[in-house]
Structure 1
Amino acid sequence: MFNMFPLDATSIDKSLPVPVSTQLHGLLSYILSHGDMAYGTKLPSVRQLAADLSIAPMTVSQVYQDLRDAGLIEMKRGLGAFTARDPNVRLREDQPINALRADIDALLGKAEHLGVSPMALVSMVTAQVQMRKPRSGLEIVFVGIFPGPTRDYVEEIKNVLAADDTVRIVTLEQLKTSEEARATCNQADVVLTFVHREMEVQALVPDARLLALRFIPSEKTRQALASLDPRTKIAAVTHFQDFIAIMRPSIREFAPHVADIRVTWSSAPDLSETIAVCDVVIYATGADEVAGLARPGQRCFEYRHSPDLGALENVLVPYLAHLRRSKSDDGRKGQAAA
């Protein structure tokens, strides 16, 4: 069912002073947000998942309800739980290219009939585009968690933006406490954020146009994990206790040859002791202070995510094209009215 990595009794660490329900919620929300499960995929029943994980059915039931409230799953009476997110829904609903395919085919056919080569047609279209009045860029806001990593995410996203687009960064904490930050989001053409934070952000700025993007482990992180020696003892540290259960399977996804992985969080009382007995320290984004606890010569690196290129190219770019066209049409209407 969960095609990112298997779930079994070892997925939940009952020896940790972190509630089982918190671990399970973090584990499932990560899989549903960062995985590629198809829309409408049926999830294990409450009893089945409880049996697989050796935990109480009531715990699974409550977590499923919380995931439903977060918009990550749908509960259908008598049928069970299903994935609620379709990563291509924006593409199907808003991609303007779908409305142009017939016109493009007709234009190609007419050009062929007139003896105009495809390359000549492309040149003609390009020239016509250059003659059109330049359109104003889009005002984009990215809502992140930690300022530093968010700036890095934005730099990657800028690779698919137009030169005159502008991107402002707002942290989730600012969104919760600052009226100015909320106004910035409400006035933007679109607000971008992570899939697992979509409902939280939407609740804070209900009038904003919001698009959630899928993130995946970065190439640098995957390479670093794959290069680990099988005998390595790993200290895996997260900032959020909610996501402590995701650390071990996330590391094993790219380092299945490593068996000794000890998970903890950045404010755990025994953090220093855990790091001291391990060879490598891997910390999740946001737990950067952990690097300062590593001893000289001890390998230490961040488990970093990056925007999924597929989501940028197949969802974000077409969606922004739709917004540009709408903004341009609105501008022309305004000029005509004047």
Structure 2
Amino acid sequence: MFPIDATAIDKSLPVPVGTQLHGLMSYALAFGDIPHGTKLPSVRHLAGDLGIAPMTVAEVYKKLRDAGLVEMRPGLGAYSVLGAHQKNRAALPIDELRDDIARLIDKAEARGLSTMSLVSMINAQARLPRHDAALDIVFVCIFEGPGRDYVEELRPMFLQGDHIRLVPLDTLAKSAEWRKRCADADLVLTFRHREAEVRTLVPAGNVLGLHFIPSQMTRQNLAGLDPRTRVAAVTHFKEYIAIMRPSVREFAPHVSDITVTWSSAPDLRETLSRCDAVIFASGADEVAELAAPGIPCFEYRHAPDPGHIESALTPQLALLRRQRAQSETADPRNPPKKVAG
């Protein structure tokens, strides 16, 4: 069953409960380890558990559906459609190689070559210099600072000749020039929960939504908090205020005193003054300047999910390079066709 932390919905906050619930569920679907096809609570059941109107829950489910985060199955309810590295495994680019690998193994064995010898040959071949086709890649981020860091974390996946550009989502929405650049790019990367939005802005683009998880440093910082710590958890977007408390508790279950707020709240300074540690979401960096000297203050940062990078991004890049190289060899004047995202 889909996990819902009812205590994360705070009716005393000046943020509508529908907004809080939408942020909580969209975050859990995008960043949580929720398998594809997980059944969500029924509208009536969830409304009863949270003590809110069924119409409010129904509206949240509609928004999640429109964002491509859930699917509605007639007569059955709502189900998650994320977990791209778990969903439709046969449809992932890496699985397109399975039949080729099986044929290669059969061909090697027919010639008296062991599987281990074949692996050694492949490893040796992989170390030889290659002339891979360079790619044009755009990363659609939310905030430029964290976006640059994410690109650097993904850098080992790219070649030196790849052209990688960064554009904030709000800029993409306003700029026809950037939308054209994305449409013309070999690959457009973004966050999994923003994929539907980017696809709407760039319908002709080859868009791949990446799965992100809390970074190792974030986990360590949270785990190292003293159990007696009074924590202020601050988000940039009011919509995601409900996810702050369960996000902290996930890696600091020993901490019970957690106050949630947002970076433009009128009582932010007062809230910070009452706390012994400050954790702020990406984009709320200015909060660090308001924290009292000497108290722990760190960002709740995410990082690309290595499993999703291996299963989705790496084979996608390899396929794009192969297609571009084949196209350039056939006719240098014609650009390669894009892979369906």
Give the C-alpha shift of residue 156 in structure 1. Answer: 0.5
How many Å separate the matches in 1 of 2:74 and 2:118? Answer: 54
- 1:311 maps to which residue? 308
How many Å separate the matches in 2 of 1:297 and 1:20? Answer: 35
Is 1:138 matched up with 2:121?
no
Identity of aligned residues (%): 53
Among 268, 274, 280, the alignment partner of 1:283 is 280
Among 61, 66, 69, the alignment partner of 1:64 is 61
1:32-51 to 2 correspondences below 5 Å:
32-51=29-48
How many Å separate the matches in 1 of 2:88 and 2:327? Answer: 21
Worse overlay, 100-109 or 217-226:
100-109
Is 1:239 matched up with 2:232?
no
Query: In the superposition, relative to structure 1, how do residues 54 and 118 fare at CA in structure 2: closer, same or farther (>3 Å)?
Result: same
Give the C-alpha shift of residue 166 in structure 1. Answer: 2.3
Give the C-alpha shift of residue 117 in structure 1. Answer: 3.7
Is 1:220 matched up with 2:220?
no
Give the C-alpha shift of residue 107 in structure 1. Answer: 3.5
Query: In the superposition, relative to structure 1, how do residues 119 and 143 fare at CA in structure 2: closer, same or farther (>3 Å)?
Result: closer
Per-residue CA shift, 1:248-298, capped at 9, x if unaligned? 000000000000000000000000000001000111000000111111112
Is 1:112 matched up with 2:112?
yes
Among 183, 190, 195, the alignment partner of 2:192 is 195
Task: Give the conservation status (yes or no) of the 8 Å contact 1:235–1:262.
Answer: yes
Is 1:161 matched up with 2:150?
no
Is 1:179 matched up with 2:176?
yes
TM-score calculated relative to the size of structure 2: 0.91
How many Å separate the matches in 2 of 1:81 and 1:114? Answer: 49
- 1:7 maps to which residue? 5
Is 1:82 matched up with 2:79?
yes
Query: In the superposition, relative to structure 1, how do residues 86 and 281 fare at CA in structure 2: closer, same or farther (>3 Å)?
Result: closer
Query: In the superposition, relative to structure 1, how do residues 176 and 261 fare at CA in structure 2: closer, same or farther (>3 Å)?
Result: same
Q: Which amino acid aligns with 1:185?
A: C
Q: Secondary structure at the match of 2:286?
A: helix
- 1:256 maps to which residue? 253
Worse overlay, 13-22 or 168-177:
168-177
Between the two proteins, the alignment pairs up a number of residues equal to 331
TM-score calculated relative to the size of structure 1: 0.92
Worse overlay, 221-230 or 48-57:
48-57
Worse overlay, 158-167 or 201-210:
158-167
How many Å separate the matches in 2 of 1:205 and 1:155? Answer: 24
Worse overlay, 25-34 or 319-328:
319-328
Per-residue CA shift, 1:13-66, capped at 9, x if unaligned? 000000000000000000111122222211111111112222111111110011
Among 86, 89, 92, the alignment partner of 2:90 is 92
Task: Give the conservation status (yes or no) of the 8 Å contact 1:215–1:308.
Answer: yes
Give the C-alpha shift of residue 113 in structure 1. Answer: 4.8
Give the C-alpha shift of residue 204 in structure 1. Answer: 1.0
Q: Secondary structure at the match of 1:163?
A: coil
Task: Give the conservation status (yes or no) of the 8 Å contact 1:282–1:301.
Answer: yes
Give the C-alpha shift of residue 124 in structure 1. Answer: 6.7
Task: Give the conservation status (yes or no) of the 8 Å contact 1:91–1:319.
Answer: no
How many Å separate the matches in 1 of 2:124 and 2:211? Answer: 37
Query: In the superposition, relative to structure 1, how do residues 232 and 331 fare at CA in structure 2: closer, same or farther (>3 Å)?
Result: same
Worse overlay, 191-200 or 318-327:
318-327
How many Å separate the matches in 1 of 2:142 and 2:323? Answer: 30
Instruction: Tell me the C-alpha RMSD between the 2 structures.
Output: 2.2
- 1:271 maps to which residue? 268
- 1:25 maps to which residue? 22
Among 303, 320, 323, the alignment partner of 1:323 is 320
